[in-house]
Amino acid sequence: MSNEHKEYLKKIKRKNIIIKSFQILIIIFIITIWQLAANKGLINTFISSSPKNIINTILKLYKDKLLFHHIGITFYEVLISFSLGTIFGITIASILWRYQLLYKIIDPYLTILNSMPKVSLGPIIIIIAGAGIKSIIIMALLISFIITIIDVHHYFKETEKNKIKLMKSFKATKRQIFIKLILPSNIKNLINVCKVNIGLTFIGVIMGEFLVSKSGIGYLIMYGSQIFNLNLVMTGIIILCIMASLMYYIIVILEKRINH
Amino acid sequence: MDILKIKNLRKIYHTKKRELLAVDNFSFNLKKGDFVAIVGPSGCGKSTILSVLSDLEKPSSGIIEYDKKLKFGYMLQDDGLFEWRTIYKNCILGLEVQKKLENEKYVNKLLKTYGLLDFKDSYPSNLSGGMRQRVALIRTLATKPDILLLDEPFSALDSQTRLAVSDDVYKIIKKENKSAIMVTHDISEAISMADKVIVLSKRPSIIKKIYDIKLDNKKNPIENRKDKNFAYYYDLIWKDIDYHV
């Protein structure tokens, strides 16, 4: 390796260190200022809580054996609705790719369903599925499902025309074109759909928990706001942030695996 | 011996607003082992002829006659390699589709002959444009076609690579003893590679002229360009095509 190249690698490394340290510094800075402001009475901790209060709340939840109970429930709901939404969405998009006429027929309905705020269906869902986990999962499912169909179908249709032509010149069947070309060429896009869906599913699940649940992080936030315990609300939000980013990173790791 | 007879081929494209006559009255016979080039102004419907021959599109009218055992191999402008497949896997794509994996030995032989065996397990992104085009040709040859249809096969390459690759592809086609029909807009390429050059008019494409290319000493595409008859044909075809800027 030439010295020049070593120098270049060092430069990149240095840059990365700077970026990472600033990222960590920012969060430390925010937490410190928040806590200091709370200590000095500059902010009303009843409304804005404080890092110390949040940690205490987490510890209390943990001691009461409620922390992982709530996290577990929410995680379970997210996992089920994410899996179902993604799998069904991709399957239906594949069917619509296969049968273009069917797609053209239902296209306007998909658009309407997509632009409609799904929460408005909440009351109907609760009446049909009952005030429980089932309703929450259906709600979250609805939110990610329609957009998955639309996005995945779009990606499938955008597959390079000349590659399709090439497959056709080999007399490939539609099925062969799908398995050998459409699906593998869209792996990256499908992973992106998963990334978006994780976020959407969280929205759906929390909304569902706001409406009906007796446990879960969404319930914790709702309950906290009803008894004016803003510490609980803030704690719920922080836990959600951590959960969502963890699930996102699981997909990123999966993505790296596939790319290698 | 004529292995392919095309009589009065006509292709009309329909859109909502109008119908477009792309090719009209195209008649031509292909002899075994012949290399035929079709040249014409861009957008004249050259590629349509290949699409119809390879059964990707139906002709509006006309007769195409050939022994049904005869197979066509299509090679596109863009190499169309699948980035997620290794070179070897790309080469056997057609075999997989047609469930003819017994041809795999032949693929190995082709890879070896054309200097790509060491890249068997590489991915397309590691290959140069010229090498990728060679892989695309092997992928087409793997299904053992009798007639190769080349649709502007070099137009995505830069001009130096283009010369080298056209030389390469020409030698491979001759060595494997294939018949070929090549569509191109490059007059030099057509004269230097083909035994016959068909000149098409502007759309709707009809045949303006067919030239039998007789060079004094026919060798390979690069050498052929130095032949004294080369300029003669170039001049004639240039005038036929009647380019307007």
Q: With contact defined as beta carbons under 8 Å apart, do A154 and A193 qualify?
A: no
Q: With contact defined as beta carbons under 8 Å apart, do B45 and B205 qualify?
A: yes
Looking at the DSSP assignment, which residues form a beta bridge with residue B211? Answer: B197
Q: How many helices (H) and strands (E) does chain B have?
A: 9, 9
pLDDT at B215 over 90: no
**Subunit contact B76:A184, Cβ cutoff 8 A:** no
pLDDT at A260 over 70: no
Nearest to A170 among B77, B84, B143 (CB): B143
Check CB contact of B82 with chain A, cutoff 8 Å. yes
CATH code of A61's domain: 1.10.3720.10
Nearest to B76 among A166, A171, A184 (CB): A166
Question: What is the reported pLDDT for B222?
Answer: 82
**Subunit contact A162:B143, Cβ cutoff 8 A:** no
ipTM of the prediction:
0.86
> Which of A149-158, A191-200, B74-83, B185-194 has the highest mean predicted lDDT (pLDDT)?
A149-158
Helices marked H in chain B — which ranges? 46-53, 87-91, 93-97, 104-113, 129-142, 159-175, 187-193, 221-224, 228-241
Is A9 in the same domain as A135? no
pLDDT single digits (tens) A80-136: 999 999 999 999 999 999 999 999 999 999 999 999 988 888 889 999 998 889 999
* Cα B67 to Cα B76: distance, rounded to the nearest angstrom: 24
Q: Which helix H or strand E contains A7, and what residues bound it?
A: helix A3-39
Per-residue burial over A92-127, b = 16 or more CB atoms within 10 Å of its CB, e = otherwise = bbbebbeeeeebeeeeeebeebeeeebbebbeebbe
Is A151 in the same domain as A94? yes
Q: All domains of chain B, ordered by start, with CATH?
A: 1-70+146-227 (3.40.50.300), 82-144 (no CATH)
Is A21 in the same domain as A65? no
Range of the domain at A138: 55-259
Look up the pTM and report it.
0.84
Q: Determine, yes or no, domain membership for A81.
A: yes
Q: Which residue of A has its CA nearest to B71?
A: A170
Q: B205 in helix, strand or coil?
A: strand
